[in-house]
Amino acid sequence: MELLKTLLEQNQLMSLFLVIALGYAIGALNFRGFSLGVGAVLFVGLAAGTLAPKAAPPGLIGSLGLVMFLYGIGIQYGKNFFAGLSGVGRKYNFLALGALIVASGIAWVAAYIFNLPAGYLAGMFAGAGTSTATLQAAMEAAGNNNPAVGYSVAYPFGVIGPILCMYVAILLLKPRIEAPSGTGLDLSEVVVRNPEAIGRTIGEVGAVLPPGIKVIAVRQQHVNMVPRPNIIIEEGNVLGIVADNKEGLEKALKFLGEASPGSIAKDRKDLDYVRLFASKPSVVGSRLSDLRVPSGAEYSILHVRRGDADLLPSPDLILEFGDRVGMLLNRANLAIFRTYFGDSIKGTTEFSYVSVGIGMVLGVILGLISFPMPGLGSMKLGLAGGPLLVSLILGKLGRTGGMVWTMPVSANLTLRNFGLTIFLAQVGMTSGEKFVMTVQQTGFLFLGVSAAILLGIVLTTLICGHLMHIPFDDLLGITAGVTGNPAITAYAAKQVPTDRPDIGYAMIFPGATIIKIIIAQIIIALGGN
């Protein structure tokens, strides 16, 4: 054992990657649907830190990992976050805020009754919400690693607690959630028979079709053509239409005439279907309506596939790295379009280090700025909140002039998952000795307080959301977002036949993270280290 300790302490980099490898292996173990996931890296780090305290790498490595993680989160969810600040999203975010306030109240009551140090308490609050950003903010405010100890105790509750509460809620409420009428996009061909459509232009007819319907091709005189707005529709013309909902598609078919499958698809002489990767910086960040293909080659976009979802090609849809653009065009012009869009799989895994560097610098600078808080002195967003807030704004913008802020989904996932892994490993290895000592002294007390904080978050969200008559699939998404762990989101998504839990998570998670960061600093400011 002494030989292993010496080996680990003399090779910090090796120790770091050993912790990461073992952590991921343990996190992949599944027990009846429950697994620690990347959180297992923290516990392996604690074990390594207990065995070999001097094996822990410098704190700068952990800080770098956290900034990478938060920047990727903000870039991906920026649009969802700002969309959630209006309409029904505002109500959902207020519900999440209320749940976090209740949980912080429970934490303060526990601190008063049991005389708990604020550093440990802030860590338990962060762990119950599985928020690594909050943990970093708490450690910065406390000036020590006490929050990491509380976080480590509370984290398992933060993962399994919401899943169990959702399970019980489903058993008690027995919600009936209808599956959406269709998934993805539907492509249909219809021969025009309705006198109300005959003699009108494509633009005029497109304007009266139901929402979510787009004309993507027209067949006249046995020739397939791109649907220019000024083309006049004649009786017997065939229109190719794409729809994102079954109900709208049925109304469109009824209005135009009758289905005529294969009329356009079987003739590829003039227009053929191709799918190209958007990988060129000059295209990424542009709206579909702003695309200008050289030589004026005509085309019609059927859909944009982003990740695993097909998006209806609206004029305001902004292309991102890695989008696959499905379009109709003349094969003779294929080389022109490939050059214009880039069409490189390799390009979809890369991103601009210039934009990432600038974004992270702006985030770190914002995190260093102190803001006055009446009765609390001053407070700052720190290395956690600053990069997150800046990246949310940049993710919403997408592009500023020639600077593209977004990045491919695959590259984003790699960046942030690797960053989170490094952060958890470094924090765990630094906190190992203190963790064992503290748990031996106050383990059961910490476990009880952590469970109470977690229940305050989850039960407040589920009960109040149910009383507010929020649709159950939306409510699961809100609960996943306010608690934060992706494993919770994955569980919620499996319980209902819609994608609303994923949407709710993206809408709530960024704002909830910022609120948790602020609450953790308030706990430290009022209670000391």
Q: Cβ neighbours of residue 380 under 8 Å, at least 6 residues apart? A: 367, 368, 369, 370, 371, 386
C-beta separation of 248 from 292 below 8 A? no
Give me the residue label for tokens 């260093």: 368
Q: Which amino acid makes up residue 453?
A: I
* Residue 7, domain member (yes or no): yes
DSSP state of 30: -
Euclidean distance between CA atoms 152 and 37, whole angstroms = 14
115 in a structural domain: no
| Residue 328 and residue 302 in contact, taking contact as beta carbons nearer than 8 Å | yes
Q: Does residue 141 fall inside a structural domain?
A: no
* Nearest C-alpha neighbor of 110 from the set 463, 462, 454, 376: 454
Q: What is the pLDDT of residue 34?
A: 59
Distance CA 226, CA 464 (A): 51
In a domain, 39, yes or no: yes
Phi, psi of 263 (to 5 degrees): -60, -40
Spell out the per-residue pLDDT of the chain, length 529, in tens: 777 878 788 888 898 999 999 988 888 787 765 566 777 887 888 888 888 888 888 888 888 888 888 888 888 888 878 877 888 888 999 999 999 999 999 998 988 888 888 999 999 999 898 888 888 888 888 888 889 888 888 877 787 788 889 989 988 888 887 665 544 678 889 999 998 888 899 999 888 888 888 898 999 988 999 999 999 998 889 999 988 888 888 888 889 988 888 888 888 888 999 999 888 878 888 888 888 888 778 899 988 988 767 888 888 888 888 788 999 999 989 999 999 998 887 766 667 788 889 999 999 898 888 877 666 567 777 777 788 889 889 988 888 877 888 887 778 888 888 888 888 888 788 877 767 776 677 768 888 898 999 999 999 999 999 999 999 989 999 998 899 876 677 678 778 877 788 778 878 888 898 899 889 989 988 876 5
Of 410, 286, 412, 417, nearest to 346 by C-alpha is: 410
Largest CA distance in the chain: 89
In terms of residue numbers, what domain contains 233?
186-348
Structural domain includes residue 293: yes
* Range 262-281 burial, b when 16+ CB lie within 10 A, else e: ebbeeeeebbbeeebbbbbb
Same domain, 52 and 194: no
Tens digit of each residue's pLDDT (9 = 90 or more) over 396-454: 888 887 788 888 777 888 888 888 888 888 878 887 776 777 667 776 888 889 899 99
Q: How many distinct structural domains can be found in the chain?
A: 2
Residue 512 within a domain: no
Q: Give the burial string for 445-467 (b: 16+ CB within 10 Å, else e).
A: ebbebbbbbbbbbbbbbbeebee
Give pLDDT, residue 182.
Answer: 47
Query: Domain boundary at 348, 364, 380, which?
Result: 348
Tokens 């390594």 belong to 48
Q: In this structure, is residue 321 part of a structural domain?
A: yes
Looking up residue 292, the CATH number of its domain turns out to be 3.30.70.1450
Give the C-alpha separation, 469 to 466, whole Å: 5
Closest CA to 125 of 387, 509, 515, 504: 515
The Cα 441–Cα 438 span in angstroms is 5
What's residue 121's pLDDT? Answer: 92
* Euclidean distance between CA atoms 165 and 171, whole angstroms: 10
Cα(104)–Cα(519) distance, integer angstroms: 7
| Helices within 329-408 (DSSP H only) | 334-341, 353-368, 382-397
Asked whether 123 and 155 are in contact (CB, 8 A), the reply is no
Angle between helices 500-527 and 59-83 (to 10 degrees): 130
Dihedral of CA atoms 179, 181, 183, 189 in degrees, nearest 10, equals 170
Tokens of 485: 């762990």
18, 31, 65, 283, 480 from 423: Cα distances, Å: 14, 25, 5, 34, 22
Going from the C-alpha of 351 to that of each of 65, 411, 436, the distances in angstroms are 18, 7, 42
Separation CA 229–CA 206 (nearest Å) = 9
Question: In the structure encoding, which two tokens stand for residue 179, read together?
Answer: 């599956």
Up-side HSE of residue 459: CA atoms within 13 Å toward CB? Answer: 10
**Any domain includes 256:** yes
Neighbours of 171 (CB within 10 A): 8
CA distance 282 to 293: 11
Q: Which of 348, 368, 402 marks a domain boundary?
A: 348
- Out of 19, 40, 56, a domain closes at 56
